[in-house]
Structure 1
Amino acid sequence: MFSYSILLIAALCGAATSDPSTSTDLLWPLPNGNTVGSDMYSLDSKTFMFVPAGKGGSSDVLKEALERYMKLIFLPSPVPALASSITAPMDKLTVTVDSSDETLALNTDNSYMLDTSMSMLSAKTVYGALKGLETFSQLVSTNSMGQFQVPSFKANDVPSFLYRGFMIDTSRHFLEMKTIMDHLDAMAYSKFNVLHWHIVDDQSFPYTSIAFPAMSVKGAYDQNHIYSQDDIAQVIKYAKYRGIRVVVEFDTPGHTQSWGKGIPNLLTPCYANDKPTGTYGPINPTLDSTWTFLHTFFTEIARVFPDSYIHLGGDEVSFLCWESNPDIQKWMKMMNYTNYAQLEQYYETKLLELVKTIGKQYVVWQEIFDNKLEVLPDTVIHVWKGGDNWPKEVYNITKAGLKTLLSSCWYLNYISYGEDWPKYYQCDPLAFNGTAEQQALVVGGEACIWAEYVDSTNFLPRTWPRAGAIAERLWSKTDFSDLHSATTRLHNHRCRLIVRGIPAQPPSGPSFCPHEWEE
């Protein structure tokens, strides 16, 4: 049997990397319920094959994944390995998928069982199989003799949270299609399963609407910075084939300045001294034309984005323009409303009911809850504020019986000199004083990167591998919290991302990868 040994690289720089042939140091996120044996099997790119089986064995998603991973497992090893005593060759990995159902939803099973000594990977769904294939691919290393090898390894792996998301912002700065696709690849390599696409905002409206084409013609930066319907379909399909849902966000009634450029009378005219100022505030909820537009628009969105959820925003709604507008003041008196929070309640209630009638569920930012607006029982509240006080917010939301999603501690757009990923790694969405029933309502979390200072020139290196810290926290058990082990594994994951074409920046100071980034 091959004895366990350690290969130290860049030790003076704190970048110690264990020999991947005998440890889990190549794995990210760390699988739950894993054991590593002492046997080692060789793989030959000319003879090794994946063998699909089960009811889902003929899935197009699985077929494409097997072709993709046949290439990935025979890429150069991200870190050097020692020569190993080979127990036997591995000629195949049988991939058994129990179900032929390819539905992607919040409760889609992502678990899998992997046993390399038995040449077996099994999963209930094709998306669980994708996660198992990623783990298998990470176990493959190249020894000093140039052989591809994989250790005896068993895992009965299931993610800690159903929702492991990442939010991109394509309004403040546009992201090119290739950047989005590369990001989806990196998400799959880290076992994220939701792309939250904050596609439009005040600054620009790059979504090309079928029913309202003037919104992107007049609201986008220009016609080189838009997403066509074909672009969107391509992103959704590319994501699905990597086990990633696409949850789009159209944030209203605030954050809608770009909307008003293409839809007359949608936004509220602001007044000063009884005269229009020429500026506009949130969507005007008092006009019938507003609701005709919203129904048509969201009906289109429900068709274009097939996920069962839409993110409806609802954050940072300023009442100042509503308060200044004489027509809204008259309407408020007619409705016997005494404060503008009631107008916000009116808007949100109607919007949520509208979205429900078109067959969608929804996520909203936490202001909806904080402002004591009534929501339907299946609403998911997205927590983004509170700093270190987010546990109180999560407690209150779950105490009210509502599902919640955490982002407060995972804003990747905040950068500083030095190593910052440990603070993301140590944020636990269940670290609040709630009952078991309350904790069960925490469906997961999201990394967010707002794009005031991010576009395709710096998005990927700024995001990766820092986002990996969040990916492991959402996948692996919370007792996997050893920063020393995580530092080694995250460094190795960064090197793997580089080998796979993702320009990931160094996570922990001076170090090196055997294969440096080449565009």
Structure 2
Amino acid sequence: MMLPLYCVDYLKVAADGAYITATTVFGAMRGLETFSQLIYHRPDGGLAINEVTGLYDQPRFQYRGILIDTSRHFVNLHTILTHLDAMVYSKYNILHWHIVDDPSFPYESYTFPDLAAKGAFDHEHIYTQEDVKTVINYAYERGIRVIPEFDTPGHTQSWGAGQPDLLTPCYANGQPNGEYGPVNPILNSTWTFLTSLYQEIDNVFPDNYIHLGGDEVSFTCWESNPDIQAWMKKMGYTDYAKLEEYYENNLIDLVNKLNKSYVVWQEIFDNGLKIKMDTVIDVWKTGWEKEMDAVTKAGYKVILSTCWYLNRISYGEDWKSVSNTCSCAA
């Protein structure tokens, strides 16, 4: 489900009425939003709007998104729908739903029900597939796409609760230490599981894109595991970034077979992984100016997510430091 780039060809407000000409229905919706924001209250309590001889409205960027993280902080369905309404006011068109992560797996999978049953905070903090459908339909009616993120191979601690043998056992002094690291990429069972899960995700989330994550993958656990070490030696790998590259390219091939396009976090690019040129790189770290320059010069499409981390809240006028240092776009 790909919404076209909206274009309000013409908005006019005159004594004999208001006129909106748009290329698509989504353009007409944005035009009505612009029209509503031109209305103001008169001192006598009435409503008025200034004459507009001709207003042309077109977005500078195709991707105007907001990310919500529902693993670290569960957001109920009503709040998500209210959030979508708020996005309309500023003409955002992408909801990046970072739906699962280390702390919790709140997505209800029909194929693997234990992922939520054992990986969510509790049975009340789960999005059913009907909830997901409600969000997607509600968003679409407002000209907003929903792009899900299922971040792997790191940020998957909650996955391991409901899917045995998915995560890599960590070792210390030659023995398992009871801790687990990223997804174990060397097991056939891993790829059987991921194939089935992403097939379900493809059926549930109709957007052309899926965010595959790939950020903050620690190699420490992989390095400690003797089975990983033996497999690396057999493959001729001496660098654990090559193991990460093996994982990501296999995952991308899997998603390609579903006719999905994909987004990954910037670490995939920064670690020098050889990835396909249709991969979209999501930049989120500081130093974004140099990163954006490097990624675009390499020929990749890019999303800039560095700015406006709304969870970075302190007392005082935070917005001044943010608005003066970066202008977010994609």
| Counterparts of residues 112-511 of structure 1 (less than 5 Å) | 112=8, 113-117=10-14, 119-153=18-52, 154-385=54-285, 387=286, 389-426=287-324, 427-429=326-328, 444-445=329-330
In structure 2, the residue matched to 1:464 is none
Q: Which has the higher contact order (CA 8 A, sep 6+)?
A: 1
Q: CA deviation at 1:198?
A: 0.4
Which amino acid counterpart does residue 360 of structure 1 have in structure 2?
K
Q: CA deviation at 1:423?
A: 3.9
Q: Quick one: distance in 2 between partners of 1:420 and 1:275?
A: 48
Q: CA deviation at 1:390?
A: 1.2
Q: CA deviation at 1:424?
A: 3.7
Q: Quick one: distance in 1 between partners of 2:301 and 2:13?
A: 37
Q: CA deviation at 1:109?
A: 2.1
Q: CA deviation at 1:393?
A: 0.5
Q: Quick one: distance in 2 between partners of 1:412 and 1:172?
A: 14
Which amino acid counterpart does residue 244 of structure 1 have in structure 2?
I
Q: Quick one: distance in 2 between partners of 1:194 and 1:122?
A: 24
Q: CA deviation at 1:425?
A: 3.5
The residue matched to 1:119 in structure 2 has which SS? Answer: strand
In structure 2, the residue matched to 1:472 is none
CA contact (8 A) 1:109 1:124 kept: no
The residue matched to 2:95 in structure 1 has which SS? Answer: strand
Runs of 4+ in 1 over 4 A off after TM superposition: none
In structure 2, the residue matched to 1:77 is none
Which amino acid counterpart does residue 419 of structure 1 have in structure 2?
E
CA deviations over 1:105-162 (Å, ceiling 9, x no partner)? 4xx1211021112521111111111111111111122212232222111311101110
Q: Quick one: distance in 2 between partners of 1:236 and 1:424?
A: 31
Q: Quick one: distance in 2 between partners of 1:402 and 1:423?
A: 29
CA contact (8 A) 1:104 1:240 kept: no
CA deviations over 1:80-106 (Å, ceiling 9, x no partner)? xxxxxxxxxxxxxxxxxxxxxxx534x
CA contact (8 A) 1:206 1:216 kept: yes
Q: CA deviation at 1:377?
A: 1.1
CA deviations over 1:317-353 (Å, ceiling 9, x no partner)? 0111111111111111111111211100100010011
Q: Quick one: distance in 1 between partners of 2:300 and 2:137?
A: 31
Q: CA deviation at 1:219?
A: 0.1
The residue matched to 1:253 in structure 2 has which SS? Answer: coil
Q: Quick one: distance in 1 between partners of 2:231 and 2:69?
A: 35
Q: CA RMSD in A?
A: 1.2
CA contact (8 A) 1:269 1:279 kept: yes
CA contact (8 A) 1:205 1:258 kept: yes
Q: CA deviation at 1:181?
A: 0.8
Q: CA deviation at 1:421?
A: 2.2
CA contact (8 A) 2:105 2:159 kept: yes
* Change beyond 3 A, Cα 1:128–1:425: farther
Which amino acid counterpart does residue 252 of structure 2 have in structure 1?
L
The residue matched to 1:414 in structure 2 has which SS? Answer: coil
CA contact (8 A) 1:200 1:207 kept: yes
Q: CA deviation at 1:303?
A: 1.0
Identity %: 59
The residue matched to 2:198 in structure 1 has which SS? Answer: helix
Under a length normalisation based on structure 2, what TM-score does the superposition of the two structures give? 0.96
State the number of aligned residues. 325
Q: Quick one: distance in 1 between partners of 2:172 and 2:166?
A: 19
Q: Quick one: distance in 1 between partners of 2:142 and 2:186?
A: 43
Q: CA deviation at 1:409?
A: 2.3
Q: Rg: which structure is higher?
A: 1
Q: Quick one: distance in 1 between partners of 2:123 and 2:246?
A: 35
Q: Quick one: distance in 2 between partners of 1:324 and 1:104?
A: 43
In structure 1, the residue matched to 2:2 is 104
CA contact (8 A) 2:307 2:327 kept: no
The residue matched to 1:413 in structure 2 has which SS? Answer: coil
The residue matched to 1:248 in structure 2 has which SS? Answer: strand
Q: Quick one: distance in 2 between partners of 1:425 and 1:302?
A: 37
CA contact (8 A) 1:314 1:368 kept: yes
Q: CA deviation at 1:197?
A: 0.4
Unaligned runs of 5+ in 1: 1-102, 430-443, 446-519
| Counterparts of residues 55-66 of structure 1 (less than 5 Å) | none
Q: Quick one: distance in 2 between partners of 1:203 and 1:313?
A: 16
Q: Quick one: distance in 2 between partners of 1:425 and 1:378?
A: 31
Which amino acid counterpart does residue 311 of structure 2 have in structure 1?
N
